[in-house]
Amino acid sequence: MSKAKLEYIWLDGYKPTQSLRSKTKIEADFSGKLEDCPIWSFDGSSTQQAEGGSSDCLLKPVFICPDPQRKEGYLVMCEVMNADGTPHSSNGRATIVDDDNDFWFGFEQEYFLWDPETNLPLGFPAQGYPAPQGPYYCSVGAKNAFGRDIVEEHLDVCLEAGLNVEGINAEVAAGQWEFQIFSKGAADAGDQIWVARYLLERIGETYDVAINWHCKPLGATDWNGSGMHANFSNSVLRTAGNKDTYDKICQSFEPYIKEHIEVYGADNDKRLTGLHETQSIDQFSYGVSDRGASIRIPIATVERGWKGWLEDRRPNSAADPYKVAARIIKTVKSVEV
């Protein structure tokens, strides 16, 4: 009789930014299929998701992949449900309205590799700053690229797990990196981002390096913040064939600046300043190839005859991809085209 290790992963109830939690379930003769992952429970009073007198919350498996770092291991992403089976208030995945997976999402996840001893990014001296931004983006060499061993291990593990990682690169600030994940389905894209975040956090443990998801961890300095740019399309955007449709969809975002910013990650005012390739948090703009806009129309979309996708550059690195996708879908669906 074989025994499998199922790592059940979920999001806690902390505000304004949720954290990952996980625990291991041992299953005998496990098939490896999602439908054979049983619903499990946990103590919600320890994760700010329930009161002590009625603390049981349920874990509903929604995504499974192999766990390359454990023998007979699987990673199981879960939604948090109330004891009666309804979605918990912290459950952002349940807010996605995309039953036919018409929406495709590609998230560009930026983050900093962080030294817990100095409380600074890798590559930063204990006192002062390294050389200014410029040489670090897509860099190579020990003077400019910091933490590559961690990043490469993370890429290998994600690919072995079957996650649809489309690329990685060193980012603009020292110690800052990015990975990109794409999926034809909003919920699945969110599942994969969260599992990839979990794997990165776990790999960091072995190097004694923390992962800093905050959007502006270096405060009011000239160092870039971190985003989670959301590239998205639906059948309308993929087949439009005209600029007017794109204008109409982009313009539909402007009345909902507040609603989008509310789910685009905490402290985004520190990042969306109008500097460092961002638009101001209270302004809205869009444009072709404009990285200083709220929404960028990729040049590839134009070159394909206005058939492609859009990029919302406002979500930050700590945002919940489920909530980001849900809000984007709601706005795009409000447009009559």
Which tens digit of pLDDT belongs to each residue from 165-210?
Answer: 999 999 999 999 999 999 999 999 999 999 999 999 999 999 999 9
* Mean pLDDT for the chain overall: 96
Give residue 128's pLDDT band: very low, low, confident or very high (50, 70, 90): confident
C-alpha distances in angstroms, 103 versus 63, 184, 269, 315, 331?
18, 7, 28, 17, 12
Q: Give the pLDDT band of residue 49 (cuts 50, 70, 90).
A: very high
Work out whether the CA dihedral 268, 180, 165, 157 comes out positive or negative: negative
- pTM (2 decimals)? 0.97
Q: What is the pLDDT of residue 263?
A: 98
CATH code of 104-333, in short, is 3.30.590.10
Q: Which pLDDT score is estimated for 312?
A: 98
Domain map (residue ranges) of the chain: 3-91, 104-333
pLDDT band at residue 56 using 50, 70 and 90 as cut-offs:
very high
What per-residue confidence (pLDDT) applies to 221?
Answer: 86
Instruction: Give the helix ranges, DSSP H, for the chain.
Output: 148-161, 186-207, 235-239, 243-251, 257-261, 299-303, 321-333
Top CATH class of 3-91 equals alpha beta
- The pLDDT of 47-69, averaged and rounded, is 95
Tens-digit pLDDT profile for residues 266-300: 999 999 998 878 899 999 999 999 999 999 999 99
Choose the weakest-confidence range: 46-60, 147-161, 241-255. 46-60
